[in-house]
């Protein structure tokens, strides 16, 4: 054991879910943190309380790794509730794309992203995989909020916010990567190629090449709707996964969001190529796009993370609620209550997300040497009592409002349900200002 005076933060007590494979919950736990890393994990009764700069009493709570939102479009908080109860294509082309063209600019992206960060922190998310346009502003917001993130500049072969000339999309993408590469150990820049239908072969290849050059995952929407798959086959003669494989971009550096309409051959192909998948069940349910075969993906060894998607199609960024939906939707799809058990789903929201980002060596579990990204969930509310099985309690009972404390990189961002640095009233005020502008038009 290291010198006790070294610890910057000690979490004392509670039920600890480390998410280390096959490790059972640790009762009356103690987590020792120095700087941005976890120094050790033990039972609190193994020795006297160590001295520390700061102590958090987690008695009666559940301690677990920070949640990882594997697919989100943070700026879309400004469109929360703007166009609900519509088919995806009509929702996207008749409402969202026109709204983006009119209202998405640097100011709105920054404040809407900061609001998203506040919402995610307050509901237990410590790391995000984001993709949108004007991504410089997302980086600034994420940096200010203190989250860990993969922030991706959107790439599409249509006029887009910040890129009115699609012919310059790759110049903008490369400039973004060069600007933010190495900026922070918490923030990784990346690219997000919108979909195989909205990006040309050359755009897809260029996006992949740039991502590979910088060692960053490339994100893409894949097979989100049956209509999309049919159109892709009509254009190219191949289903989307095989089309991407033919372009040479189906590999371990690719993150496929949604991945709903994949047949078993495509799932096998993704597994063989090491592609990761971001599952977004609530968005898929709301837009009625279908149910991804997550159990089949996991059986074939695909790393699957859990995402909320954007607020225009969810309408919240509560990853605890997303876990509940993922578990129940998976069971309903197979008519099998044993599919996607609580521990598996919680793994998707922690270790699965870390694997998707290729940061599993530093995040996703609570163990010595990992980054100190930790959340504490209050287990004292009526809906959290009694506590028999903590994995089940987190997945089926807890909501974002039960999150009490949030630590990222060893820094406390949220203490006793209060933000420690972020002025949330200012953020909400700015987004309300933007909403008034949208409402008046």
Provide the token pair at 321.
Answer: 């609620």
The number of domains in the chain is: 2
* Res 299: pLDDT: 97
Average pLDDT over residues 223-227: 95
Q: Are residues 381 and 307 in the same domain?
A: no
How crowded is residue 26: how many other Cβ atoms within 10 Å of its Cβ?
A: 19
Q: Are residues 110 and 171 in the same domain?
A: yes
Q: Are residues 348 and 379 in the same domain?
A: no
Tell me: pLDDT of 439 over 50: yes
Q: What is the pLDDT of residues 202-214, one digit of tens each?
A: 999 999 999 999 9
Within a domain: 432: no
* Res 329: pLDDT: 97
* Res 6: pLDDT: 81
3-state SS, residue 380: coil
Q: 306 with 353: CB under 8 angstroms? A: yes
* Res 5: pLDDT: 54
* Res 248: pLDDT: 97
Instruction: Return d(Cα 75, Cα 362) in angstroms, integer.
Output: 27
Q: Find the CATH number of the domain harbouring 113.
A: 3.20.20.140
Q: Are residues 31 and 92 in the same domain?
A: no
Q: 219 with 192: CB under 8 angstroms? A: yes
Q: Are residues 263 and 125 in the same domain?
A: yes
How crowded is residue 343: how many other Cβ atoms within 10 Å of its Cβ?
A: 16
How crowded is residue 101: how many other Cβ atoms within 10 Å of its Cβ?
A: 13
Asked if the peptide bond before residue 386 counts as cis, ω within 30 degrees of 0, the response is yes
Q: What is the pLDDT of residues 30-82, one digit of tens each?
A: 999 999 999 999 999 888 889 999 999 999 999 999 999 999 999 999 999 99
Q: Which residues contact 297 (CB under 8 A, 6 or more apart)?
A: 259, 267, 270, 271, 277, 304
* Of residues 100 and 369, more confidently modeled: 369
* Res 88: pLDDT: 78
Q: Are residues 322 and 415 in the same domain?
A: no
Q: Which domain holds residue 253?
A: 67-357
Average pLDDT over residues 410-439: 96
* Res 2: pLDDT: 45
Tell me: pLDDT of 149 over 90: yes
Instruction: Return d(Cα 83, Cα 206) in angstroms, integer.
Output: 33
3-state SS, residue 155: strand
Considering only 46-60, 163-177, 397-411, which range has the smallest mean pLDDT?
A: 46-60
* Res 4: pLDDT: 46
Residue 350 DSSP label: I
Considering only 4-8, 18-22, 163-167, 337-341, which range has the smallest mean pLDDT?
A: 4-8
Q: Are residues 12 and 111 in the same domain?
A: no
Average pLDDT over residues 222-247: 96
- pTM here? 0.97
Q: Are residues 346 and 395 in the same domain?
A: no
3-state SS, residue 176: helix
Q: Are residues 176 and 193 in the same domain?
A: yes
Instruction: Return d(Cα 167, Cα 263) in angstroms, integer.
Output: 34
Tell me: pLDDT of 1 over 50: no
- The residue whose two tokens read 């502008």 is 437
Q: Are residues 318 and 233 in the same domain?
A: yes
Average pLDDT over residues 16-41: 97
Within a domain: 41: yes
How crowded is residue 22: how many other Cβ atoms within 10 Å of its Cβ?
A: 4
Q: 313 with 287: CB under 8 angstroms? A: yes
Instruction: Return d(Cα 143, Cα 145) in angstroms, integer.
Output: 5
Q: Find the CATH number of the domain harbouring 384.
A: 2.30.40.10
Cα radius of gyration rounded to whole Å, the chain:
21
Q: What is the pLDDT of residues 80-92, one digit of tens each?
A: 999 899 887 888 8
Q: 123 with 319: CB under 8 angstroms? A: yes
Within a domain: 263: yes
Q: Are residues 174 and 210 in the same domain?
A: yes
Q: Are residues 153 and 28 in the same domain?
A: no
Q: What is the pLDDT of residues 289-344, one digit of tens each?
A: 999 999 999 999 999 999 999 998 899 999 999 999 999 999 999 999 999 999 99
């Amino acid at each position: 054991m290291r010198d006790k005076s070294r610890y910057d933060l000690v979490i004392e007590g509670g039920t600890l879910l480390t998410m280390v494979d096959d490790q059972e919950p640790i009762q009356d736990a103690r987590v020792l943190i120095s700087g941005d890393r976890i120094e050790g994990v033990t039972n609190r009764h193994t020795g006297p309380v160590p001295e520390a700069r700061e102590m958090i009493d987690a008695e009666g709570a559940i301690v677990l790794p920070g949640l990882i939102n594997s697919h989100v479009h943070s700026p879309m908080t400004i469109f929360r509730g703007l166009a609900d109860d519509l088919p995806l294509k009509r929702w996207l082309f008749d409402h969202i794309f026109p709204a983006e063209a009119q209202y998405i600019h640097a100011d709105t992206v920054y404040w809407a992203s900061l609001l998203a960060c506040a919402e995610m922190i307050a509901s237990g998310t410590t790391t995000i995989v984001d993709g949108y346009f004007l991504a410089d502003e997302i980086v600034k917001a994420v940096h200010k909020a203190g989250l860990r993130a993969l922030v991706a500049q959107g790439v599409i072969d249509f006029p887009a916010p910040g890129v009115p000339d699609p012919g310059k999309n790759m110049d903008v993408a490369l400039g973004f990567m060069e600007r933010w590469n190495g900026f922070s150990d918490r923030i990784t820049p990346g690219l997000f190629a919108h979909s195989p239908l909205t990006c040309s072969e050359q755009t897809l290849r260029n996006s992949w090449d740039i991502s590979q050059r910088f060692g960053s995952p490339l994100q893409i929407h894949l097979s989100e709707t049956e209509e999309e798959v049919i159109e892709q086959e009509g254009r190219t003669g191949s289903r989307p996964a095989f089309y991407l494989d033919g372009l040479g971009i189906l590999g371990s550096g690719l993150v496929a969001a949604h991945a709903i309409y994949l047949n078993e051959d495509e799932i096998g192909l993704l597994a063989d190529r090491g592609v990761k998948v971001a599952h977004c069940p609530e968005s898929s349910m709301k837009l009625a796009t279908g149910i991804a075969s997550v159990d089949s993906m996991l059986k074939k060894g695909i790393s699957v993370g859990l995402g909320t998607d954007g607020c225009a199609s969810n309408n919240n960024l509560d990853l605890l609620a997303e876990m509940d939906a993922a578990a129940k939707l998976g069971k309903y799809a197979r008519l099998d209550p044993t599919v996607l058990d609580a521990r598996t789903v919680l793994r998707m929201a922690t270790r699965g997300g870390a694997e998707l980002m290729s940061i599993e060596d530093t995040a996703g579990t609570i163990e010595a040497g990992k980054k100190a990204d930790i959340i504490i969930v209050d287990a004292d509310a009526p809906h959290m009592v009694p506590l028999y099985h903590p994995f089940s309690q987190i997945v089926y009972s807890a909501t974002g409002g039960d999150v009490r404390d949030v630590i990222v990189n060893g820094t406390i961002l949220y203490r006793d349900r209060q933000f420690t640095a972020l002025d949330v009233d200012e953020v909400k005020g700015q987004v309300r200002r933007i909403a008034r502008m949208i409402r008046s038009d």
